[in-house]
Each structure stands twice: as structure tokens, then as C-alpha cells.
Structure 1
Amino acid sequence: MTPRHDRDGHVATSRRAEDHEAHEAHESHAGHADHVAQFRKLFWVNLIIAVPVVAFSTMFAMLVGYQVPDVPGGRWIAPLLGTVMYAVGGRPFLTGAVSEIRSRKPGMMLLIGLAITVAFLASWGASLGLLDHELEFWWELALLIVIMLLGHWVEMRSLAQTTSALDSLAALLPDEAEKVEADHTVTVSPADLRVGDVVVIRPGGSVPADGRIVEGRADIDESMVTGESRSIARGVGDAVTAGTVATDSGLRVEVTATGDDTTLAGIQRLVTEAQNSTSRAQRLADRAAGWLFWFALSTAAITATIWTTFGSPAAAVVRAITVLVIACPHALGLAIPLVVSIATERAARGGVLIKDRLALESMRTVDAVLFDKTGTLTKGEPTVTAIESVGEVGDDAVLALAAAAETDSEHPLAHAIVRAARDRGLSVPRAGGFSSSPAVGVTASVDGREIRVGGPRLLEQIGADEVGTAAGWREEGAIILHVVRDGAVIGGLRLADEIRPESREAVDALHRLGIEVVMITGDAEAVARAVGDDLGIDRVFAGVRPEDKAAKVSGLQREGKKVAMVGDGVNDAPALAQSDVGIAIGAGTDVAIASAGVILASSDPRSVLSVIELSRATYRKMKQNLWWGAGYNLISVPLAAGVLAPVGFVLPMSVGAILMSLSTVVVALNAQLLRRIDLRPEASSRAALDRSSGVDRRADNRSGVRQ
């Protein structure tokens, strides 16, 4: 699992906990992998067998113009090996055809199964001399099975890329918990904890179960569960959630909920329900194959009737069987899988990982993009955004002294201050006598003078007033720290979650495409409103708990909107699964990635434009390929049936076979054109702006409805 930074700044490797549901999800994933291996093996085996089948097919030799090799028993090589291919290579399609018959939903599998069965029976009849020699289709049967196995191998490989969200959720819990027994502690598994047990949480440690603090006070990092960008001060009597982290001090927590009753387990259930509710979309190619099945079957029946009535029974059999074999969708079988395979490969090279083909198809219809704030539109870490000095002390001096005092601290705010001083190129003096007090601040000696950095409680202790701009900073939801030298305030620091520079361009580009931009966050209203106003976002949902995030997505969907959710935390997982398209920032948590259909390798929100561009281009290629694949059948089937027989033209089997191969080549070449798309975030954003009408909606959006 991706390493996770705790609030002390250390990299804490997430620990894996055994979970029954995660195990079931893993088995499902393993099933996809088994199917990939199955189709890969079948393809290569049947490709090898197909070579002698085609070479010894008398009909193929007549079409190409060569003599079948004269070897002992040569006339039986194609029939015998063709039978092996039908039984082994054709088995997945035959079993699929039986399933479609039982479900009364004819589609691709039934059409393929019908074609290979007709070709198999007709070829044996021709080989035994019972039917006309023109009905020897061994070469066609071999190529048909090989091409269909290739298409299904490509498709199953894309499906097998899925990972388990539930396994990632369980991995947030620590491997062990320290349970208090009498006057000592014992190490137990979190699964063995019971309501009423008291556990010790070390500084930087994860909470193993939902509980209530009975001793101690600490800043709790709840961002993995609530999305709140700032650590929250928790003391005796406050509730804590499994999976959260005590950043700066140790705690004793009484367990109030375990197992399925915890908040984390509730999120797991939400993810499972949302994923199951969005996994039943009908594929376009299957619908086309279903229509083509009835078209081919009815055409074959009409053909047999007409040729029997106005021709001869022998001609009727030849024409009807030719219709059924020609109707088999060589190109249609590759139309979707090949496009998806190239699109996903091209996307991966552009930093976009497509896990769910349906998500890729749906992205073109999205008319609302819901961004999580923390870690998506913003960097997800505090940054010094303003300094106000008091008296003769300059801004740089205030920041340098604050950085000196905070150098030995492991708190994220301390890291932000030290980083700001380094970025400004300031000379930070050495400090000694460092000490920290939870919820108050830090104290250190710099050049013989006492320097303290802290929040409101520090000012209460020394009886000092805050700097003049603090009230305005507070209204914007910023974190405010004061720097005190020898008991006197010398300045204030404004810290906030910094907005990504790319976010504004992404929002503007989405607006130009006519897409509504919504922001959702667990942060307070003031923080969310400041970011929303700065970026010109249409709607802002603030103070949203994890269970409510999925509900907000559902609310937008009830308004008739197709919603894409972009997030990076555990708190986003249910909403990612509930949305029409879930997009996870790759720098986020494994559970967010596992719950999404699309993953952005970078943290650049402009990559959402890349997904839209790819979705639209992929859909165009799918439609074009479906028309090429099905269009061949719509034209060749009536010709093979003899619709132009009254004027002396009947489509020969050889010409039909050439057209069939040509349509497959066209479909393959057309799919290759997807490789020309530039999916770099800046290129996609620029393209969206270039295609727009030039009307800047940003001013209008600033006055839009806020929620």
C-alpha cells in the first residue's frame, strides 16, 4: 500500500489487517486474472493449430490458388484439427451461447456460437461429401475462433486490472493494539478488542477501534476519514475513530465500537453497496450483436424459404449457411476490445490509468464534476501564506525566528514554517532548549532570548492581543499562529491549505466545456468558501461527513446530472463508487484508487480534462468501429442471401470472406488512430479552452448558488 504521512511528518507504512470481505473481493479479482490466463493460453494454442487447418483447407486452397499438400491422410488434417479447435477454442463461446439462451438475451456469444457451429457442421458435411464442396469452411472456422479469442483476451485483460477497495480500507487499521490490563499493557490484535477495553495510543500511532478518550490530549489527524485538512485537538471525553492518527501526544482510549460497528466498517459497506449498484450496465457491442443475431437468423430463414420456393433445396442450404457464416462478427468482436486496449495503453502513457471501461465510456456524458478539496484542488498540506510583523521586526525576521523555534518539532505546521523560511532563502539561527506543549505551542531559546510559537492559548497565557489582521484571516478559515519574543508578540503567521496552481485552469476549462464544477469537503464553511470563491466554483458543500459525501453525489444525480467525482482519501471512497465516474488522484490512498474507475497518476486536476478528451475520442472510435463491423454484415448478408439474384448477382463466399477480413483490418487500423491523442494535462486543458466559444463564465459562476 502507498506510504502515508502521519501528522508528525514521518512516513508510516499502512499495515494490513485480515478481513473476510476483502478476501472475497480478492477472490473476485483472482477470477478475472484466471480468465485472462485462460484466454491467453487458448489464443496461442489455437493460433498454432489454425496454421495447418487453413493450409489443408481445400476451399481456402481454391480461393488462394494453390494445391493442398499431398501427404498421407492430408484430406483429414483440416477436419480433425478443426474439430479440436471447435471443441477447445470454441468452448467459451459455446458455453456463453448456452447462457444467453437460458437468460433469453441473445448477443455476441450466441451469434459466435451459432456461426462456428454452422461452419463446423457444414464443413464436416462437405468433407464427407454429403454437402456441396463450397460449404467447406474449415479455414473460416479456424480464423473465426482465433480472432474471437484474441478479442476476448484483450477485453478480459482490461477487466482484470481492478483491485480491492475493501482490502485497502482494512489496511488502515494497525496490526496490533496495546490493551491496558491492570498496571501493564499487552499487545493484541484489533479484532480481539471488546467494547469497554482501554488501549494506549502512542504519538504517531493509529487508533485501532472507535472509542472515547479517557486520558490525555492530542491533535488527531482525521483527514483519512473526514477529509478535514487540519488536525483536530481532542481531549478527555472526545470521540475518536478507527484509522485516525494521534500526531503529537499519547492517549488512552476506551473502546466504544469494534468490527462491523465502526465508522470504517460503515464506509466499507457504503463502498460495497455503491459498487454493486453501478456494475450492471449493458455493453453497446452486446446490444449490437443481439440485433445482428436476429437480423442474421431471420435473413437465413427468409433466404432458405425463398430459394427453396424459387430455386432448389441444395441452393437454399448453400445460401442459408453462407448467410449465417458471413453474419458472424469478425470485426464486431474486435471493435470494442481493441479500442479499449489501445485507449487504456495510451492513457497509461499519459498518466491516466483506466480501471473500468464503463467509466471511460461514461466520462463523455458527464455534466458535473465534483472535486474533493483537500489534496485535490489544494495540496493537502499547510503552507505559510501571509506574515504580519509588529513594531520594528520585519516579516523575514519573524519567519526566521519562528522557523528556528520549530526546527526540532515534528508537527506539520512546524514543517510548513521551516519550509517557508527555506523557500525564502532565509538564514535560520540555531535554537536550544526546545520544548512543546500540546494545544499551546513550542518554546526555544534563540540567541539567548525566549521564542515561543503557538495559537490562541499561547496568547491567553501571556495575556497578549493577536495581530491586527488575525480577524480577517480567521474569517477566511486560516490557521493563525503568533510569534512571541521574551513575552511580547512580534508577529503573526497565516497558514492555509495551498490551492494548486493548476486548479484554476482546470475549473475554467471545465466551465468552457459547459460542465458544472462542484467542491465537497469536510473542512469548515469559511475554509471551503474561501477556496470556492478564489477558484470560481459553482457550488460548495462544506463540513460533509463521509456518509454524506455519497448522499451529495446521489442528490446531484437526482437532479438529472451525470456526476464525476474526483478525490484522494478514504472519506471519498463511497462517493467515488456512487458517482457515474469515480476519478482518484494517484497520490492519494489505496482505497480511493481502488474505489475509482479512473486513476490520475499525477495530482494535477487538469488531468480530468484528459479523461474527458480520451472518453470522447474513444467513443467516436467505438461508434465508427461498430459501424464498420456491423455495416459489413448489414450489406453482405442480404447480398449473400441473393437479394440481387434477380439481376444475376449473388455474393460468392470468397468475396464475402475477403470483405470480412477487410472490415477487420479497417477496424484495427481505425483504433490505432487513438495513439495520436495528446493526453498531457496542459495539452488537454489548452484544447478545451481552444474549442470553447470564448465566453468566460467565471464571473457568472462567482455569483452562483452556494450550498
Structure 2
Amino acid sequence: MTAETTDTREVQLDISGMSCASCVGRVEKQLEKIDGVEASVNLPLNQAFIKVPSGLEDQILVDAVSKAGYDAVIHGQDQPQSAATDEAESDLEESNVDDAPGAAELKPRLIISAILTVPLFLISMFTAFQFPHWGWVAMVLSLPVTFWGGWPFHRGAVKAARHGGSTMDTLVSIGVTAAWVYSTVELLLDPGMTHMAGSHDHSLYYETAGVVTTFLLLGRYLEARAKNRASEALRSLLNLAATKATVVRDGQEVIIDAADLHVGEEFIVRPGEKIATDGFVVSGHSAIDTSLITGESVPVEVSEHDTVTGATINTSGRLVVKATRTGADTTLAQMGQLVSRAQSEKAPIARLADRISAVFVPIVLLIAAVTLIGWLIAGDPATAFRAAVTVLIIACPCALGLATPVGLLAGTGRASQLGILISGPQVLEDSRGVDTVVLDKTGTVTKGEMAVSNAQTMNGHQSHDVLGAAAAVELGSEHPIAQAIVEAGRQLGELSEVTEFESTAGGGVIGTVTMHGTKHRVAAGRSTFITQQVGELTDTQHQALADAEAAGATAIWVVINGEVAGIISLQDQIKDTSAPAIAELKDLGITPILLTGDNASVARQVAAEVGIDPENVFAGVRPEDKVDKVQELQAAGKTVAMVGDGINDAPALAQADLGIAMGSGTDVAREAADITVMGSSLTQVSQSLQLSRKTLSIIRTNLFWAFAYNTAGIPIAAFGLLNPMFAGAAMAASSVLVVLNSLRLTRFGR
């Protein structure tokens, strides 16, 4: 591939046969031998996420995985009928963690092995259960356990050896096979070794082969069940989609599969039904429960022209919706893709574990060989064999391979349930050092919606008349401030008709309004417009304007018949969740900073209400200057997270060490922010940082104990101080504990 070739595409592979971090490293290495290919393999998901040159054929990738010793298919690719049937049956069973992929094969092997291992252990370890020639019975009991029960390990070892490699399965397979073969050779050489019950004069390790195999099967079975639980969040997210849609065809309502909807097609959503796909309301009014997507519990009111998101629930009125996105383009599908991608990629902390695991198995094999030779030289063949087998078993790096991906799986899955999308594992590293959060005001701390907060009257006018007259004349304007005044006026009663209406761009409006049976000439607007109607304002009027703006309000003058009638104050409403969320950020040791284009009075007022210190308020900042402010903070040694709406604040979001985009899921899901908050609550920002930190903490704990376990266990085993059976139990337990520790994240925020 030439350097000029820059077009790439993404391919996802489903891989079978991987069991440890060494498998992951081998597959990645084989894939990345192909020019221009970047691969990230996820062990719990058994998937590879690959960036490839646009002209590269998928089959080349499948063949590369095959060369590494594993089977692969393109994710979602049609399979032969029998395979498709098996896959469908598997999908139906996935709701049961006992029958999760991997667990279904391991379960019968575990049950049979356990049934045979119990008597094997008793007759081998306790003289009370022994009888003449019990060794031959032990051999028969251990044979199916070692070779049929342990087949998954032997199969993995053979596949790796066929391609010149070694994995955790190699260690297990060599260990248990050596124990069984050594015992059988000894028994064949001395058939009467156990002719007497209660004899301790033997060198049989059948119970080691059986017990270790059973313990490892139990560990892997529990891992499979636990990994399935960890991925349930993503699966439940994808299962939220509606399956049916009601469309009108030839004048008749017809129920079709939601997957058959097309862009531009209209469908009906009745109360209690899920919205089939993304679209906008053609007719009707209702409240939509968006908690499944945004994580917010308060229903959202929608009416004609409002956008709606697929998988949300219509709670009240009947809606007719026109589809704007279907299939893979929907918000829900994009959420699933983002979560899946985050789980498939690797955090830098995981790269370290992979590099160590890649060389770990060969080193362990060498240590086991040295242990064997050392004890043989010391003249203790029994200890030599037992110690070497124990080294192989205790060193299995399974916990090491699971430490990061299972933690990431559980953390990002839980985040998706909370309406938070973490774009990749690098975010976990970035979030750890964040000490400053820069908040855009409008739409982040506040609702971004103006509302009338006060109507101050002058020259004997009544507040009812001032607000009603202003609302009537503003009815002809589309400006957000005008709409807020109209909304407040409508709450007082029906608005009067307006004639002789005039509008000045950026200035104000004027018209004739009938009040109390009399026509009045009414004007409403900012100071520069009003002075054209009444001349210079008095000192008292200037002071009233200054007081209103000092309170953080936007002031609109109202003039009736050439006389100043009053001032209407409007304020952007602060979200109920902003103050508690900012308090949570402070508790995390993070300094909140308010950055806004509004005037200083408004900024100070908002900051005071939500708990931001005055010295951390920067007003009058233009969008293009927000990047400079973020850079200034970074130059001062701060690690900055920027929170904005993901559109106007895009440059600052990109500049920040961590970008957090807020807004509706429909618009924001495609933004390249590090974290996307699907709802509009600032609480989700603090939640996302807490969850990121918690996930990273869990992963670090997992890695520490996995490293510590292997580091401490190998020398103990090499010196002959550890029984192989206990080593097998401890190794299985370490893997299960790593997974269970990660699953604590699924309870976050509950």
C-alpha cells in the first residue's frame, strides 16, 4: 500500500477459539502484518475491530485470523443454513447466562467432570476411601475428565502449536496431560503400586489432573456467564428498538416490521407504543418518555415539527411521524455502534498487559523446565514433576487477559444505560487527570429558553396591560425573545389582534393593538429602538434598565402611545440539575468555570445561583475565543474538560483534554466528542466523570491483583511449596474474582 492511500473503512470480525491475552496478541499481530491494517481484538466480546484500506478484501482478514489458529466470520455476514439456525437458537438462549456462548459447551463438561472428580479426589487423598488396586479406578475416573472435560484446553493448545505459538491453554494442557501420563507410566511400570488400601507409597497424580481440570472448567464457565452479564447492557440497549410500525397504505392502517420502514414514510404511534424510528411529528401532540435513550425521567412534550427518536415511548396522545432515519442510521443504532466500538478498542493500560502476556507463556514454559531440571538434579523426581506442573498451572495469565476488557465492557455498558456514550477507552485515561471543567452557559447550565421573569410598570400603566400589549405586538415576530413574551401573555388570556405591524431587524416591533375597546400604538424593543419612539430616556428609566440587567435579565422596553409603559425582564432558565451537579464536580476536586458570550451581569447571576465562584466566570467570550480560553487554562497546567452543545462549541471541545457534548441524541450522537451525554442534564456530566474514574480504578485493581498473583505464585510453585490442585483452584478463582470485581460497575448510580 502506498503512502498516498488514505481511504479506510472499518470491519468487524466475530472470532471463535480465543481464551486468553496471548490469543488476542497473536490475532492482532497476524492482522497487522497486512499493510495498512490496524486491529484491536476484544477477548470478552470475541470480536476484532479493524481499520483497513478501502480496497482490501474481507476474506484476506478472515484468512489472517485463520493463520493465527482461530476461526473468524465478518460480523453480521450471512452463514450457511445450519449455522444460521444454530446462531438463531443461540440468540434465543442468550437471555439465559447459563447458556451464553462458551458456557453452553462448558456446562456439560463441567457437570460430568465434577461427578467423576469427587470420588477420584476422595479415594486418592483419604485412606478411609481406598481399597485394593484403587489406582486403576483412579486412572479410569480421571481419563474422561482429563481428556474429554479438558478438551477445550487441549484444542486451544493444539491450534496454537500448529501455528508455532503458545497460550494459556498450552500451560493447562501440558500440566494436566503430564500429570495423567506420568501417573499412568508409573502405574504400568508397577501395577501393584496400590495393591494395599491405605498405602502412601505411590507417585500417582490422577487427582491433580482431575481436580485441576474441573477447577479450571468451573473458572472458565463462571467467566463465560459473568462476561455475558457484562455485555448485557449493550445487548439490552440494542433490544430497545421497536419491532413493529403502523403505516397508512391505500387508506388502510397496516402493521409492518419496523425494519421495513423507509425514509419519508409516515407511521402512526399510539399512546403506550414505542416510536419505530427517528423522525419528526407531522401531526399530534404528546409527551415522550425518552429515559431509555437519554437517561432522563421527565417526559418531553412534542408537537408538530418536533423531532422524535426511535425506541422512545409515546405516553399520551396519538402521533403521526415521518421517518427521517432508518436502520443503521438511527440514533439507537449509532449509540450501539459507539458503545461496541468503545468496548472493542484498547486503553493504553491494556496495551501493557497485552505486551506482557505475549511473552509470558514462553517464559513460564522455560521456568517450568528449569524447575523440573533443578529438582531432578536435587534427586527428588516426585517433587520435580509436581513443582513443574504447579508452575504451569499457577502461571496461567487468564486473569491478566480479562482485567481490562471486562472492566471496560461493564463500565461502558453501564454508561450507555445512563444515557452516556464514552467514545473509547482513551477517555478513561484522559478523565483521570481532569481538574477543571469549562461550562458553556446556554443549553448547558441553563435551558437555553428565555422566559419572562418580571414586568415593571411606569407612568401609571398596569402590568397586565403592559405584558398583554407587548405579547400582542410580538406575535408577529419569530425571535426567541418575542416568543417568550407571547407565551407569557397567553397565560393572561387571549391576545388582541395587531394591525399596521412593522418590524426592524435587531431592533424591535411596532403595531396597533386594541385594548379595552380602544386602539393603541404599541412598540417593544431594546433601548436603541425605543429612543427612536420616545426620545432620550430619563435617569429613572436608565436606572430601572440597569437594575434589570444587574439581576441577570434581558430587558425589553414597552411603549404605549408614545409613552414608556414599562420594562419586561426575561431570563434564561437555569436547569434544576445544574447546582447539584456543580456541587458534585467540586466534591470530585474539579474546578467549574463558566464561559459565556452573555454580559457580565447575566453571567455573575447564573454563576451565583449554581455555585460557581465569581473569579471563575468569564463573560462576553465569543465562540472563536473559547478555544483561546481553553488553551490559556492548559498553559497554566490545568487538565481541562470542556462541556458544550457539541455544535457551536466544537472547536473548544476539540481543543480540550476531554470534550463532553450535550444535547439531543439525534444531533449529538455523530459528534466527535470524547463523551456524549444523550440527555440535557448537567448531572450526567458529573456522572460520566465519576463512572470513568470508577472504571479506570476497577481496571487498575484488576491488573494489580492479576500481576501480583502471577508474580507471587510462580516462585512459590517452583520451590515445591504449592500443591497443583490448590494452584488450579487459585488460578480459576483469580479469573472469576477479576470478572466479579468488574461487574460492580453494573451497579453504579443505583
- TM-score for the superposition, normalised by structure 2: 0.56
Change (3 A) 1:326 1:550: farther
Query: Contact 2:117–2:141 (CA<8 Å) still a contact in 1?
Result: no
Task: Supply the AA of the counterpart residue of 1:426.
Answer: L
RMSD: 5.1
Q: Which residue does 2:171 correspond to in 1?
A: 118
Query: Contact 2:440–2:594 (CA<8 Å) still a contact in 1?
Result: yes
Change (3 A) 1:582 1:629: same
- 1:400 paired residue among 430, 449, 468: 468
Change (3 A) 1:150 1:563: farther
Q: Distance in 2 between matches of 1:597 and 1:324?
A: 42
- The reply to whether residue 583 of structure 1 matches residue 668 of structure 2 is no
After TM superposition, give the deviation of residue 329 of structure 1 in Å: 3.3
Q: Which residue does 2:501 correspond to in 1?
A: 435
SS of the equivalent of 2:649 reads helix
Q: What whole-Å deviation, never above 9, does each CA across 1:438-459 have from its counterpart, x for those lacking one?
A: 4143335233323232334532
Q: Distance in 1 between matches of 2:421 and 2:667?
A: 14
- The reply to whether residue 641 of structure 1 matches residue 641 of structure 2 is no
Deviates more, 1:425-434 or 1:22-31: 22-31
Q: Which residue does 1:662 correspond to in 2?
A: 733
Q: Distance in 2 between matches of 1:638 and 1:351?
A: 47
- The reply to whether residue 490 of structure 1 matches residue 565 of structure 2 is yes
Q: Distance in 2 between matches of 1:139 and 1:558?
A: 58
Q: Which residue does 2:356 correspond to in 1?
A: 290
Task: Supply the AA of the counterpart residue of 2:171.
Answer: V
Query: Contact 1:373–1:520 (CA<8 Å) still a contact in 2?
Result: yes
Query: Contact 1:115–1:324 (CA<8 Å) still a contact in 2?
Result: no
After TM superposition, give the deviation of residue 391 of structure 1 in Å: 0.7
Q: Which residue does 2:524 correspond to in 1?
A: 453
After TM superposition, give the deviation of residue 326 of structure 1 in Å: 1.8
Deviates more, 1:25-34 or 1:382-391: 25-34
Q: What whole-Å deviation, never above 9, does each CA across 1:592-649 have from its counterpart, x for those lacking one?
A: 773333343443324444344434544554444444444443443333222xx4xxxx
Q: Which residue does 1:559 correspond to in 2?
A: 636
Query: Contact 1:135–1:318 (CA<8 Å) still a contact in 2?
Result: no
Change (3 A) 1:366 1:331: same
- 5 Å-filtered alignment, 1:505-544, equals 505-523=580-598, 527-528=602-603, 531-532=606-607, 535-544=612-621
Q: Which residue does 1:310 correspond to in 2?
A: 378
Structure 2 unaligned regions, length at least 5: 15-38, 49-74, 76-86, 91-98, 124-136, 186-204, 239-340
Task: Supply the AA of the counterpart residue of 1:598.
Answer: I
Aligned length: 520
Query: Contact 2:101–2:224 (CA<8 Å) still a contact in 1?
Result: no
Query: Contact 2:348–2:426 (CA<8 Å) still a contact in 1?
Result: no
After TM superposition, give the deviation of residue 372 of structure 1 in Å: 1.5
- 1:377 paired residue among 445, 454, 459: 445
Q: Distance in 1 between matches of 2:350 and 2:499?
A: 70
- TM-score for the superposition, normalised by structure 1: 0.59
After TM superposition, give the deviation of residue 539 of structure 1 in Å: 2.5
Q: Percent identity?
A: 32
Query: Contact 1:57–1:68 (CA<8 Å) still a contact in 2?
Result: no
Query: Contact 1:454–1:483 (CA<8 Å) still a contact in 2?
Result: yes
After TM superposition, give the deviation of residue 375 of structure 1 in Å: 0.7
After TM superposition, give the deviation of residue 564 of structure 1 in Å: 2.3
After TM superposition, give the deviation of residue 413 of structure 1 in Å: 1.3
After TM superposition, give the deviation of residue 380 of structure 1 in Å: 1.4
Query: Contact 2:407–2:742 (CA<8 Å) still a contact in 1?
Result: yes
SS of the equivalent of 1:561 reads coil
Deviates more, 1:611-620 or 1:369-378: 611-620
- 5 Å-filtered alignment, 1:9-408, equals 36=45, 38=47, 46-51=102-107, 54=110, 62-63=120-121, 77=148, 83-86=154-157, 113-121=166-174, 282-283=348-349, 286-287=352-353, 290=356, 293=360, 296=364, 300=368, 303-304=371-372, 306-311=374-379, 316=384, 319-360=387-428, 362-408=430-476
Deviates more, 1:561-570 or 1:573-582: 573-582
Query: Contact 2:157–2:167 (CA<8 Å) still a contact in 1?
Result: no
After TM superposition, give the deviation of residue 581 of structure 1 in Å: 3.2
Task: Supply the AA of the counterpart residue of 2:734.
Answer: S
Query: Contact 1:387–1:492 (CA<8 Å) still a contact in 2?
Result: yes
Q: Distance in 2 between matches of 1:419 and 1:69?
A: 86
Q: What whole-Å deviation, never above 9, does each CA across 1:640-693 have from its counterpart, x for those lacking one?
A: 222xx4xxxx322211122223334444444454555546xxxxxxxxxxxxxx
Task: Supply the AA of the counterpart residue of 1:119.
Answer: V
Change (3 A) 1:143 1:335: same
Structure 1 unaligned regions, length at least 5: 1-20, 99-112, 164-274, 680-707
After TM superposition, give the deviation of residue 393 of structure 1 in Å: 0.8
Task: Supply the AA of the counterpart residue of 2:726.
Answer: V
After TM superposition, give the deviation of residue 392 of structure 1 in Å: 0.8
Q: Which residue does 1:7 correspond to in 2?
A: none
- The reply to whether residue 470 of structure 1 matches residue 541 of structure 2 is no
- 5 Å-filtered alignment, 1:545-624, equals 548-587=625-664, 590-591=667-668, 594-624=671-701
Task: Supply the AA of the counterpart residue of 2:356.
Answer: G
SS of the equivalent of 2:682 reads coil
Q: Which residue does 1:253 correspond to in 2?
A: none
Task: Supply the AA of the counterpart residue of 1:499.
Answer: I
Task: Supply the AA of the counterpart residue of 1:458.
Answer: F
Q: Distance in 2 between matches of 1:355 and 1:419?
A: 39
Q: Distance in 1 between matches of 2:147 and 2:403?
A: 34
Q: Distance in 1 between matches of 2:158 and 2:502?
A: 75
Query: Contact 2:175–2:390 (CA<8 Å) still a contact in 1?
Result: no
Query: Contact 1:148–1:334 (CA<8 Å) still a contact in 2?
Result: no
Q: Distance in 2 between matches of 1:37 and 1:287?
A: 17
Change (3 A) 1:558 1:465: same
Query: Contact 1:338–1:668 (CA<8 Å) still a contact in 2?
Result: yes
After TM superposition, give the deviation of residue 24 of structure 1 in Å: 5.5
Query: Contact 1:519–1:540 (CA<8 Å) still a contact in 2?
Result: yes
Q: Distance in 1 between matches of 2:651 and 2:11?
A: 21
Query: Contact 2:415–2:422 (CA<8 Å) still a contact in 1?
Result: yes
Query: Contact 2:595–2:618 (CA<8 Å) still a contact in 1?
Result: yes
Q: Distance in 2 between matches of 1:399 and 1:419?
A: 10
- The reply to whether residue 499 of structure 1 matches residue 574 of structure 2 is yes
Task: Supply the AA of the counterpart residue of 1:561.
Answer: K
SS of the equivalent of 1:564 reads strand
Q: Distance in 2 between matches of 1:595 and 1:75?
A: 51
SS of the equivalent of 2:648 reads helix
Q: What whole-Å deviation, never above 9, does each CA across 1:293-328 have from its counterpart, x for those lacking one?
A: 398577546534532432457854653343133212
